[in-house]
Chain A
Amino acid sequence: MPELVVQLTRAGFLALLWLFVLAALRVVRSDLYAASGLKVDVPHFRKKPQPQKAGGGKSPGKLVVTHGALAGTRIALDGRPILIGRADDSTLVLDDDYASTRHARLSLRGNDWYVEDLGSTNGTYLDRAKVTAPLRVPLGVPIRIGKTVIELRP
């Protein structure tokens, strides 16, 4: 090939490579605010939660112990995870021989509360199903831990 063509193609190919990188960066840029799940909710949570609080929305607002020694206890949910177990530093301290020291954990992901078993001896049950992986907890569905039953209420 003539020298000039070699030089031109050499530079041209490098330009092509960087064009690809730039095109990819354009995609990244256009993608920054969409479809991330991180950014989009900012304008929303200013608008929406207000009527929700007033009208008593449908998302869980408290955790209620329905059976067991602690029946009647309520814990307001504020977004922080709830540790359940016999350990003194749990959020809900169970006095239950069938519960483990660190039995289960409820945590908020997005708008949903998930129950997670922390390797307990006797297991955690959501309704009738044994909790092996984090499971979403719908409103009013009982979670059984030893002799204690809790559920989420609005």
Chain B
Amino acid sequence: MNRPLGVGGREPEAATTNPGGAAPATRRGTELLMLAFATVIMTSALVLVDANQEQELTLAIVWYGLAYLGIFAAAHLAVRRWAPYADPLILPCVALLNGIGLVMIYRIDLALAERATQVGRDFSGVAPRQVLWTVLALALFLGVLTVIKDHRTLTRYSYTFGLIGLVLLALPAALPSAISEVNGAKVWIKFGFFSLQPGEFAKILLLIFFASFLVAKRDLFTVAGKRVLGVELPRARDLGPIIIAAGVCLSIFVLQKDLGPALLFFGVVLMLLYVATERFIWVAVGLSMFGAGCVLAYSLFTHVEQRVANWIDPLETYDEPGGGYQVAQALFGLGTGGVMGTGLGAGRPETVPEANTDFILAGIGEELGFIGLGAVLMVYLLLGMRGMRGALAVRDTFGKLLGGGLAFALVMQVFVVAGGVTKLIPMTGITSPFLSYGGSSLLANYILVALLLRISDAARRPQPQARQRPQQQQPPIAEAHTVMVQAPSGGGTGVPAPDPAAPSRPSNGAGAAPGPGPATNPGPPAPLNGAEQANANSKASSNEPGTEGESKA
């Protein structure tokens, strides 16, 4: 991030995305093309499933394909209208994942229905509900895209969002089990015929809160505070809210025995802290806290111990209640699939418990094999990458933090679930975004995608100021009697030596000190971390050499 150091900076157009003055490509055409491609994949997947399951191949499949294209085309049109410069890849990737998820859920429905008829029970598939959720989620997506015209407005409500997020998290735990417990997990709110997991939405709200909080307090973190072991520790009152919020969240997760979201949340907060402060010490502190927490949880909670035992050897605890049965079945599925997979509709993914939610990746791995699962993970990677790219390119710090945090949350969630299914890490109950069955997860993830699109739109949109700037009136140079400005000599010379005629302590506080003041350090300019310079000052004044920001004079 080298900036020109001279006075004045660059020409206005230099920072915009269109050097030639022509309108930058919005790339919406590319997006539509990729969406059509995703539709082709989804439709052919549906055809394959039906063919391999010996279902009747009817024209209905064409209609499904068209309906799918229709709803995503609607999303595309909305993006064209309200976020024309948004990233062209995010929506197609989401569409593909959602399509594959729908096909897999439908496919598992078929298998479960067959099994139910053998036993002589009724079975109602969940695929139609998931289609309904998808439509709802896209409606919500449009809503977010139209309501939030500029992601920076979110900072105004940061504390409100944080509070609502905490309440949403705590709500299921506080409500009676009758309306909040499904399969032993108290993370739901049941509304008659459908139920929601408020935690999924809390994730996004809290992320917004943390991002805007960190943007506001970032400087104080690195500037004001005591130095312990060569590291500037932030003051407690600066860090307080974030520690309280994170602590409350984690304890809620622990009380709800919901490990997956806890892991996800912890990772995201750590990442935000690191991005905001650029200090590796936070990652180190966080990871050691995480290690300690793991040991503590392992010794305190039996269900954690059980999960770890299942992870170390799923077959040993295969027959125990809550044992390694799930993970072992998932591994069997992945093993059956091998490199090429059994083919869509030709495997038996229903033998894995929770095949359409937590273990959907095992089903995909069985039917599409390593190659297919690799492709799906690549699509996730692309999605995360495009989100990060938007975050890198966007101009405001809040957008950077929020976009980075959202993209990281997505990728981290995929890591936690894929790692759990493949026995890389202990299995924690968490859904794979866009693939798994589940309304709340889908709704929340579409909100996340809408925010990512909004940020990437802001990042790629040409700046309007670029055209206004040259017309701006140059104010007359008044006060001719005031001091001469000393031209900056050399690369990083910033603040000139204070004029003797100026009143006391005019600049820098170190103005009276002989020699080059700390502000004239030829250190690297730090456009993102505004505290760097002031930091160097405090270091210089306390005579502690050996840090990177130190004066080289």
* CA of A17 to CA of B535, assembled, Å: 51
Q: Which residue of A lies closest to B85 (CB)?
A: A35
Residue numbers in A under 8 Å from B389 (CB-CB): 36
Q: List 14 A-B contacts (CB under 8 A).
A: A9-B51, A16-B40, A20-B38, A20-B96, A35-B17, A35-B393, A45-B4, A61-B485, A74-B485, A78-B492, A80-B525, A89-B537, A95-B504, A101-B224
Q: Which of B368, B492, B493, B504 contacts A17 (CB 8 A)?
A: B368
* CA of A69 to CA of B502, assembled, Å: 10
Contact-residue bracket for chain B: 35 or more
> Contacts A9-B343, A24-B34, A89-B541 given: A111-B14 contact, CB under 8 Å?
yes
Asked if residues A76 and B7 are in contact (CB atoms below 8 Å), the reply is yes
> Contacts A21-B378, A78-B525, A140-B475 given: A108-B533 contact, CB under 8 Å?
no
Asked if residues A53 and B8 are in contact (CB atoms below 8 Å), the reply is yes
Apart from A38-B392, A80-B533: 9 A-B pairs, beta carbons within 8 A: A10-B344, A27-B27, A49-B10, A53-B7, A75-B495, A76-B488, A102-B219, A110-B395, A132-B156
Looking at the complex, which of B166-174, B319-327, B462-470 is the stretch in contact with chain A? Answer: B462-470
Give A88-123 as 1s and 0s: 1 = Cβ < 8 Å from B's Cβ atoms.
111111010000011001011111100000110000
Residue numbers in A under 8 Å from B369 (CB-CB): 14
A139 interface residue (CB < 8 Å to B): yes
> Contacts A18-B375, A118-B219, A153-B475 given: A41-B482 contact, CB under 8 Å?
no
B372 interface residue (CB < 8 Å to A): yes
Q: Which residue of B lies closest to A138 (CB)?
A: B472
Q: Which residue of A lies closest to B224 (CB)?
A: A102
B223 interface residue (CB < 8 Å to A): yes
Residue numbers in B under 8 Å from A105 (CB-CB): 219, 530
> Contacts A80-B533, A91-B495, A91-B507 given: A36-B92 contact, CB under 8 Å?
no
Q: Which of A11, A41, A44, A139 contacts B474 (CB 8 A)?
A: A139
Q: Which of A17, A27, A49 contacts B8 (CB 8 A)?
A: A49
Q: B: which residues have CB within 8 A of A? A: 3-19, 24-25, 27, 30, 34, 37-38, 40-41, 44-45, 48, 51-52, 85, 88-89, 92-93, 96, 152, 155-156, 216-217, 219-220, 223-224, 340-344, 346, 368-369, 371-372, 375-376, 378-379, 382, 385-386, 389, 392-393, 395-397, 459-460, 463, 465, 469-470, 472, 474-475, 477, 479, 482-483, 485-488, 492-496, 498-499, 501-510, 519, 525-527, 530-535, 537-538, 541
Q: Which of A41, A110, A133 contacts B152 (CB 8 A)?
A: A133
* CA of A7 to CA of B504, assembled, Å: 84
Number of A residues, CB within 8 Å of B: 84
Residue numbers in B under 8 Å from A80 (CB-CB): 492, 494, 525-527, 532-533
